[in-house]
A and B are shown apart, each in its own frame.
Chain A
Amino acid sequence: MSERKIRVLVAKPGLDGHDRGAKVVARALRDAGMEVIYTGLRQTPEMIAQAALQEDVDVVGLSILSGAHMALTPRILELLKANGQTDVHVFIGGIVPDDDIPRLKEMGIRGVYGPGASTEDIVRDIRIAAGKRKS
């Protein structure tokens, strides 16, 4: 019996130690029937890219509350691309000033979710994005 589950990497890059939000999202995605690989804290971009590759994920969700998103994002996207994972969709959740969002989207980030975002929106957007991925 074939089953296709959406696999999502939830990663906490950098030195930011707040993981409650990431865990809330991880549980919401699980409740939506997805398989979530949670990396734990203090991940380097290299660790995140390696995990995304080995787990062949459809989506990478970065949880960043430290303000380091403009530094971390290009590096992570670059590594994903270098590894050949060009069809993985990357989302960011956390503390991101509105002014930074357009530039992040230009870089290739699919969606940015601040503190008020609903998990329903995140689930919906991930489903849409993953549906577009070539199998």
Chain B
Amino acid sequence: MMLVDSVLSGDRLALARLLTHVENNTADGRTALRLLFPRTGKAHLIGITGAPGTGKSSLVNRLAMHYRGRKRRVAIAAVDPSSPFTGGAVLGDRVRMKDLSGDSDVFIRSMASRGALGGLARTTAGIVQVFDAAGYEIVLIETVGAGQGEVEIVRLAHTTLVVEAPGLGDDIQAIKAGILEIADILVVNKADRPGAENTEKALRSVLDLAQPKNHTYMHHGQSMSEDQRVEARVDGWNIPIQRTVATEGRGIIELAEEIERHFDFLHASGNWTRREEARLASELAAILQERLLEKFHAGLPEGRYNEFMRQVADKRLSPGEAAEALMDDAWRGGAARRESRRAK
């Protein structure tokens, strides 16, 4: 496929266009992902998440500069939320990354979430695969400014950084579950502000309370069958807390060292492979879900879905009954049975 060949030979316009295909889930995009998949698995995927205003973009900028100083090729996928009403988005993460311009070994791509919950877009995993296959050794993934529920990143990244900043809420905030649980490394950014030490103390006390435990990677928190779960032991990894002042480049070298330590730990402990498996399992499940739904709708007769929707709206059928009836229609010959009954 020409587009794939161009991407592999270093054509950056081709790469940009391929990313668009993948983002729009076109036939060419799907073909390309299939062709590129065997070439993935070399990049270190680093997720950066945290509440809005904690300085994620500035941190991504500085980390990328650091890696460039070490001659590593860096790709950045930065996700911002789409308006739930208009479907549009203002993608402003590039504003903080001006230091990276002019460098042809850095590629920054902004993505809108397009309605996906969890902090990433549905196609972010695919975009990251393209970067990996195209030879970018470090892929930084910046999620939508997350509160506590947007934890999709943990299934995509090898190393997840959770960024906090002083003064964004009282210390109790730090103790809430969800987002802290997914951290491999905690970052207290804007550490020059008053309250940085308290923020760090609050985080430390939460970490001390948590026992090192095995993580079971589940898809969207829903239980899967036993053999679909992937377990990873996290004994031996103590979550470090790193202070940074991203706008001044302070603490960045130390942070990169922690990331490196985590990378080494993943390989030494066998967790790299387990996380890869969990990642891929999660992606398979997500794609299957999406395509099943697509095919299902494509197989329904014109207007059938709306017929049932009407009955639900009129309270003649419950949503559960309507769903069963639709499936019956599509898969169990329900439509044919109804037709023959009418004919009698």
Contact = CB atoms under 8 A, between A and B. Distances in A.
Nearest to A34: B88
B94 A35 contact: no
A56 interface: yes
Interface stretch (A24-32, A69-77, A90-98): A24-32
Nearest to B28: A135
A37 B91 contact: yes
A55 B83 contact: no
Contacts of A66: none
B101 to A, nearest CB: 4
A47 B97 CA distance: 11
Nearest to B112: A35
A56 B12 contact: no
B98 A3 contact: no
B1 interface: no
A37 B76 CA distance: 14
A36 B311 CA distance: 40
A54 B95 contact: no
Contacts of B19: 56
Interface size band for A:
20 to 34
A36 B89 contact: yes
Contact of A30 (B26, B83, B98, B290): B83
Given A1-B294, A26-B90, A40 B98 contact: yes
A40 B57 CA distance: 13
Contacts of A46: 101-102
Nearest to A4: B24
Contacts of B96: 40
Interface string B106-118: 0111101010000
B228 interface: no
A38 B89 contact: no
A51 interface: yes
B90 A55 contact: no
B89 A50 contact: no
> Which of B12, B20, B25, B95: most chain A CB closer than 10 A?
B20
A85 B107 CA distance: 17
A38 B91 contact: yes
Contact of A31 (B17, B88, B114, B294): B88
Contacts of A2: 24-26
B284 interface: no
Contacts of A84: 13
Contact of B91 (A1, A31, A36): A36
Contacts of A3: 24-25, 87, 114
B86 interface: yes
A53 interface: yes
A34 B92 CA distance: 14
A5 B112 CA distance: 10
Contacts of B87: 3, 5, 33
A39 interface: yes
A98 B329 CA distance: 64
B16 interface: yes
B92 A32 contact: no
Interface of B: 12-13, 16-17, 19-20, 24-26, 82-83, 86-92, 94-96, 98, 101-102, 107-110, 112, 114, 290, 294
Given A1-B25, A30-B83, A47-B102, 17 more contacts: A26-B90, A31-B83, A32-B86, A35-B89, A35-B112, A36-B88, A36-B89, A37-B91, A37-B92, A37-B110, A39-B94, A40-B98, A42-B98, A51-B101, A51-B108, A53-B16, A54-B107
Top 6 nearest A-B pairs (CB, nearest first) are A40-B95, A30-B88, A56-B16, A47-B101, A33-B88, A33-B87
30 contacts: A4-B24, A5-B88, A26-B90, A27-B90, A30-B83, A30-B86, A30-B88, A30-B90, A31-B86, A34-B88, A35-B110, A36-B88, A36-B90, A36-B91, A37-B92, A38-B94, A40-B92, A40-B94, A40-B96, A47-B98, A47-B102, A51-B94, A53-B16, A54-B12, A54-B16, A54-B108, A54-B109, A55-B109, A83-B13, A85-B13
